[in-house]
């Protein structure tokens, strides 16, 4: 049910996330029932992106076919004024998989069962053909250019402007040069806009997947609910590898490591580029959640079963894109790591496709 006015709440019970553009809260209605409300923070802090995204998320939930309704929280209401937002059912018994992974709640067999089920539902059911006009390639190119601009303007990244770079032992060109090579020497951008184009989740990673906190049931790992569809950049259709690449960037542990600074950077000290590199500190205690349990191989197997072998060049381009997007909005060691990842991934994408 979608309304055009925001339903009145009786109380805010808890803040779930105070995001950059929006706020997610558990609210209580006059009749005592609880819901989750996600709303834009309005003009000052939102910018156009946050508002469009919330509209797109509500629309996404509203458009789900009957057999997908159990895969997401139920959309209860959505509105435009005073700022876009929507209400959905509150999955009280659930936590996100990021928390379950860190709590080491699953053994490997359960993690495999979860991934296989996720693949069935995402690749087998959610990924239906789409002929939406939104072109992923334009967004990828724009994001890479913005990252190149950020690198240019950042004192701690100037060594990445050298003409000859070596990153983790791979000879690399600077980002700006490789953006030109990408557009003039490869067909990769056209390839990500070509078939198959499907409806994506858009932000598929462990923190956007909910599961019951505890269960003695054998089917516990399959009781999943997806939240937060549509990527920050508004992507909800495109090449199916988009969802796999995003999932693996987190499920492999690399993204959590970069976020928490469990990554060693080498060669970035002076203005002159020596051998550059980044190495994840896999021995850090925080990383055990991802080294003791493999959170990704079964999902990749499921992808291969549905779509055939992974196109490594497109995959590397998507890795470059995700890293470039984070170059724009992080700082310090995390930004350095993301920048090195973006450069080395784009170099690989080009090498694999020429």
Contact footprint for Mg ion (CB under 5 A): 208, 228
Q: Which span sits near ligand ADP by CB under 6 A: 13-21, 116-124, 155-163, 298-306? A: 13-21
CA dihedral sign of residues 104, 106, 107, 112: negative
Could you say which of 51, 94, 204, 326 contacts ligand ADP (CB under 6 A)? Answer: 94
For residues 3 and 77, the answer to whether their CB atoms sit within 8 Å is yes
Show Cβ contacts of residue 263 under 8 Å, excluding neighbours closer than 6 positions: 257, 278, 279, 280, 281, 333, 334, 337
267 is in the binding site of which of Mg ion, ligand ADP, none (Cβ under 5 to 8 A by kind)?
none
Quote the distance between the C-alpha of residue 195 and its chain's center: 21
How many residues bind ligand ADP, per CB under 6 A?
17
Residues facing residue 171 across a β-bridge: 166
Cβ contact 103:75 at 8 Å: no
Tell me if 19 contacts ligand ADP by CB under 6 A: yes
Cis peptide before 82 (omega within 30 of 0): yes
How far is residue 91's CA from residue 319's CA, in Å, rounded to a whole number?
Answer: 32
Single out the segment in contact with ligand ADP by CB under 6 A; choices: 41-49, 87-95, 168-176, 327-335.
87-95
Window 158-197: contact mask with ligand ADP (x via CB under 6 A) = ----------------------------------------
**Distance of closest approach, residue 227 Cβ to ligand ADP, in angstroms:** 5
Q: Is 91 in the site for ligand ADP (CB under 6 A)?
A: yes
Q: Which is nearer to ligand ADP, 90 or 315 (CB)?
A: 90
| Site for ligand ADP contains 88 (CB under 6 A) | yes
3-class DSSP state of 139: helix
In a 10 Å sphere around its CB, with 0-12 CB exposed, 13-18 middle and 19+ buried, how is residue 289 labelled?
A: buried
- Of 89 and 130, which has the nearer Cβ to ligand ADP? 89
Choose, by CB under 6 A, the member of 9, 16, 189, 233 that binds ligand ADP.
16
CA dist 2 and 70 (Å) reads: 18
Residues forming beta bridges with residue 34, ordered by sequence position = 28
Check binding of 208 to ligand ADP (CB under 6 A): yes
Nearer to ligand ADP, 211 or 346 (CB): 211
248 binding ligand ADP? (CB under 6 A): no
Rule CB under 6 A: choose which of 87, 228, 248, 334 binds ligand ADP.
228
How many Å is the Cα radius of gyration of the chain? 21
CA distance 131 to 105: 40
Binding ligand ADP (rule: CB under 6 A), the pick from 10, 12, 15, 17 is: 17
Tell me which of ligand ADP, Mg ion, none is bound by residue 345, counting a contact when its beta carbon lies within the kind-specific cut-off of 5 to 8 angstroms.
none
Q: Print the SS3 string covering 252-287.
A: CCHHHHHHCCCEEEECCCCCCCCEEEEEECCCCHHH
| Residue 90 touching ligand ADP (CB under 6 A) | yes
For ligand ADP, the closer CB: 96 or 334: 96
Least gap, CB of 12 to ligand ADP (angstroms): 14
- Using CB distances below 5 to 8 A depending on partner kind, what does residue 248 bind out of ligand ADP, Mg ion, none? none
What are all long-range contacts of 205-208, with beta carbons under 8 Å and residues at least 24 apart? 205/98, 205/246, 205/247, 205/249, 205/250, 205/251, 205/255, 206/96, 206/97, 206/98, 206/101, 206/247, 206/250, 206/251, 206/295, 207/96, 207/97, 207/98, 207/250, 208/96
Q: In whole angstroms, how far apart are CA 95 and each of 86, 91, 123, 175, 195? A: 20, 8, 23, 39, 35
Q: For the window 31-70, what string marks contact with ligand ADP as x by the rule CB under 6 A?
A: -----x-x--------------------------------
Closest residue to Mg ion using C-beta atoms: 228
Q: Which is nearer to ligand ADP, 36 or 160 (CB)?
A: 36
What is the binding site for ligand ADP (CB under 6 A)?
16-17, 19, 24, 36, 38, 73, 88, 90-91, 94, 96, 207-208, 210, 227-228
């Amino acid at each position: 049910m979608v309304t055009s006015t925001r339903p009145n709440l009786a109380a805010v019970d808890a803040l779930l996330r105070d995001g950059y553009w929006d706020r997610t809260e558990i609210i209580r209605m006059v009749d005592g029932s609880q819901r989750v409300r996600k709303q834009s923070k309005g003009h000052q802090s939102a910018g156009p992106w946050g508002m469009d995204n919330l509209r797109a998320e509500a629309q996404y939930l509203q458009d789900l076919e009957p057999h997908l309704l159990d895969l997401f929280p139920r959309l209860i209401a959505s509105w435009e004024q005073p700022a876009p937002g929507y209400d959905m059912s509150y999955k009280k018994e659930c936590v996100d998989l990021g928390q379950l992974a860190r709590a080491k709640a699953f053994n490997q067999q359960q993690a495999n069962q979860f991934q296989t089920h996720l693949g069935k539902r995402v690749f087998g059911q959610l990924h239906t053909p789409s002929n939406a006009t939104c072109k992923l390639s334009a967004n990828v190119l724009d994001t890479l250019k913005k990252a190149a601009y950020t690198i240019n303007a950042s004192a701690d990244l100037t060594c990445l402007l050298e003409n000859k770079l070596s990153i983790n032992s791979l000879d690399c060109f600077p980002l700006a040069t490789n953006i030109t090579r990408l557009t003039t020497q490869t067909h990769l951008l056209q390839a990500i806009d070509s078939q198959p184009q499907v409806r994506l989740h858009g932000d598929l990673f462990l923190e956007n997947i909910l599961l019951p906190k505890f269960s003695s049931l054998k089917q516990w790992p399959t009781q999943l609910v997806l939240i937060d569809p549509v990527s920050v950049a508004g992507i909800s259709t495109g090449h199916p590898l988009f969802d796999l690449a995003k999932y693996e960037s987190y499920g492999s542990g690399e993204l959590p490591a970069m976020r928490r600074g469990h990554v060693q950077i080498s060669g970035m000290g002076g203005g002159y580029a020596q051998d550059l590199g980044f190495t994840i500190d896999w021995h850090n205690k925080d990383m055990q959640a991802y080294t003791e349990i493999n959170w990704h191989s079964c999902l990749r197997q499921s992808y291969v079963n549905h779509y055939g072998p992974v196109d490594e060049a497109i995959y590397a381009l998507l890795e470059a894109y995700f890293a470039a997007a984070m170059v724009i909005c992080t700082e310090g060691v995390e930004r350095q790591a993301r920048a090195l990842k973006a450069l080395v991934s784009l170099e690989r994408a080009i090498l694999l496709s020429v």
